[in-house]
Structure 1
Amino acid sequence: MITTTTRQHSLRDHLAGRRTPRAAGSVEHQALLAARLTARDKWLLALLHEHRVLTTAQIQDAAFPSGRAARQRLRELYLWRVVSRFQPFRQLGSAPMHYVLGPAGAAVLAAEHGLEVKDLGYRHDRAMGIAHNQRLAHTAGVNDFFTSLIARARRAPAGEPEALTAWWSESRCARHFGDLVIPDGYGRWATRSRGAAHETEWFLEFDTGTESLAKVGRKLIGYARLAESTGIATPLLVWLPTARREAGARTALARIHSGLDDPRTVPVATAAADLLDPAAPHPSPAETVWLPLTSARADRAGPRYSLADLPGAWPGLAPPADPDDGESGDAAAASPYRLPPPNPVPPRATPNRVARSER
């Protein structure tokens, strides 16, 4: 009847409700999660704890076969309060959904390591606080750099496997090197071609175009001090948004690089995001986009190298050593317990789990 209008929402099917914060921390809820969380889910919790925030597309690149499978599983994890999510404001269009570690997920992660949640240094309000952090776009950009490498490795031909074997966050790099320099990330890329294995390590400086080019160049001084103190020459990769900014950055970098006591201890290469083919199925920084920095010729046109071939641009560069993730001295005692860095490669799903979580 016109006098008793039916509201649209009353015609919808019942939707599963989201757990309240108190229910999410209950023993009953933890018991429920024990029967529902897969090894891949728990791996994702460790990844979110390490890298703070990941978008739906990044999570799909890292661990799921399709966008539908990723969205379906993330919705379930959200309803269980294993993850939390937010969608930043965007002037045009819609921003992707961003995910952080949720209260129930933090409890699971802590329990796996025999800890209390407070020992992780986790607080839900702080985890969600990145939604309003001015470095959100930068953090998401750094994570996009690494997850695109994981996606490429997952689709590599069987005869020429590739893998991202290490991925450290900015906060982990700060704990190790923060008295000298704070990289945006640290990574290792392993490849096998013609029966020979190769591995590349690097520090990442991810530029979004907001810093002055002079400040970008001055960062080389900190990396030179780090190389002097450790005796290890680790390549520095500078990722820039456009080829035009890359040209300006190379001039600023070359000015500082030529003035270092030993420029060979700080190998530098630059690349720009607009050098990638947007029409390619899975563009990634592993492609032939890296241009090594030569102090005498900052503006030389090439050749550019792939990530796997980049060490060949610096003759005499020592192969990467196994990174030491041990916390040192007073810093370890004064800070919350630090979990080891999660493996960048998700665990393989068992056959009985595939049908449930990837359908």
Structure 2
Amino acid sequence: MTPPGGANVADEMRRLMPRDRWLIDLLGQHRVFTTEQINTLAFNNLHTARNRLILLNQRGFLARFRDAIRPGSQQWRWTLDLFGEVYLASRDDQPTPKFSTIRAKINKLAASPRLAHLINVNDLFVDLIGHARTTSGAALSQWWSEAACRNLTGDLIRPDGYGDWTEHGRRITFWFEQDQGTEKTHHVIGKLDGYDAFLRASGRRDAILFRLVSPRAEKAFRTRLAEHPAVAGGRLLVATTGGSQHHPAAAIWQPATTTQRVRLAELADHYPA
């Protein structure tokens, strides 16, 4: 693909609607969304979402890719194209990116072995935003990407994301860990050492959410979770769920030291003393 022939970038940017700008900003932070995720984030009709995305693609703001699968077809994956990157660079007073650099970035993302993991991570936060759009008193007021988390946490922890969620008067801040079933259980448990060190260094009080690849994986994880000194000692609030078939705002989260599953916001009632 080449930039639209003769297109004036400034004129194209002035044609952007507020929703377009918001979506471009989100993609700048979180890199990739599926068509259905974008519909959940910003639209009320999948057909309308598709039409707008195709238009933004034709105008050079968004790029799309997907793998060939049989039978059926995979959802399009959307990321920023040249004009989307130029818009963000202009807004933030940064150097104008080169077309070749952006194409290499898109190709690298499309071929990344971590693409499915990134989409699954984004899915949790997208679902929360979608829930907040239709639920009075619910809000995801903060959503940090893995890169944004590292700006605060350094090398002590490497969460997949961070969220600040409020619903029905309860507020919970959390670090999110998405398990794809590629790591040994003891490696995943070992991440809690870093969270414990970070808590001691920062004084922060955030929940740590682990979404395991299946209920079976969650069960195996939990057999060792409650034995971790920082959990058993009441320093860390850790909650788990298995699989992604249920909504993340719902009662799917089980704190490490209980047998009850609660809503995400209700984890605020389980903070260590």
TM-score range, shorter chain: over 0.9
Contact 1:234–1:265 (8 Å) recurs in 2 = no
Q: By how many angstroms is 1:210 displaced?
A: 1.5
Q: Hey, which bits of structure 1, 4+ residues long, moved more than 4 A?
A: none
CA distance in 2, matches of 1:170, 1:91: 32
2:248 alignment partner in structure 1: 285
Partner of 1:269: 239
Distance change (3 Å), C-alpha of 1:275 and 1:101: closer
Match of 1:172 in 2: 148
Q: Secondary structure in 2 aligned to 1:305?
A: coil
**Structure 1 regions of 5+ residues with no counterpart?**
1-17, 277-283, 295-299, 317-359
| Structure with larger Rg | 1
Cα gap change, 1:90/1:221 in structure 2, threshold over 3 Å: closer, same or farther?
A: farther
Q: Is 1:138 equivalent to 2:83 in the alignment?
A: no
Residue matched to 1:200: 172
Q: How many residues align?
A: 271
- Aligned AA (2:218): E
State whether residues 225 and 231 of structure 2, in contact with CA within 8 Å, keep that contact through their aligned partners in structure 1: no
Q: Which residue of 39, 42, 61 corresponds with 2:18?
A: 39
Shift of 1:198: 2.5
Indicate which of 190, 200, 215 corresponds to 1:218.
190
Residues 275 and 106 of structure 1, relative CA distance in 2, 3 Å threshold: closer
Alignment map for 1:293-332 (pairs within 5 Å): 293-294=256-257, 302-316=259-273
**What corresponds to 1:245 in structure 2?**
217
Aligned to 1:86: 65
CA–CA distance in structure 2, aligned partners of residues 264 and 52 of structure 1 = 36
CA change 1:163–1:232 in 2 (3 A) is same
C-alpha separation between the residues in 2 aligned to 1:94 and 1:108?
Answer: 31
Query: Which structure 2 residues correspond to residues 181-200 of structure 1 after superposition, within 5 A?
Result: 181-191=157-167, 193=168, 197-200=169-172
Contact 2:236 2:272 in 1 (8 A): no
Secondary structure, aligned partner of 1:105: helix
1:35 positional shift = 3.6
When normalised by structure 1's length, the TM-score is 0.71
Measured after TM superposition, the shift of residue 177 of structure 1 is 1.2
Amino acid of the structure 1 residue aligned with 2:21:
K
Q: Deviations over 1:227-274 (max 9, x none)?
A: 01101221100011221111001123233x2x3498422210001236
Q: Which amino acid aligns with 2:204?
A: I
What amino acid is the match of 2:116?
A
Write out per-residue CA displacement over residues 124-166 of structure 1, whole angstroms, 9 at most, x where no aligned residue.
Answer: 311331111110100000001110111111111xxx4211111
| Matches for 1:153-168 after TM superposition, within 5 Å | 153-156=132-135, 160-168=136-144
Measured after TM superposition, the shift of residue 214 of structure 1 is 1.2
Match of 2:54 in 1: 75
Equivalent AA in structure 2 for residue 243 of structure 1? P
SS in 2 for 1:285: coil
Residue matched to 2:34: 55
Alignment partners' CA distance in 2, 1:260 and 1:187: 22
SS in structure 2 at match of 1:37:
coil
One-letter amino acid of the counterpart of residue 240, structure 2: T
What RMSD in Å do the two structures reach over aligned CA positions? Answer: 2.1
Give the partner amino acid of 1:292.
P
Q: Partners in 1 of 2:134 and 2:36 — Cα distance?
A: 16
Structure 2 match to 1:279: none
Q: In the aligned structure 2, how far is the partner of 1:274 from the partner of 1:51?
A: 19
Question: Partner amino acid for 2:210?
Answer: V
Q: Per the alignment, in what secondary structure is the counterpart of residue 203 of structure 1?
A: strand
- Aligned 8 A contact 1:243 1:275 in 2: no
Structure with larger RCO (C-alpha < 8 A, sep 6+): 1
TM-score, normalised with respect to structure 2: 0.92
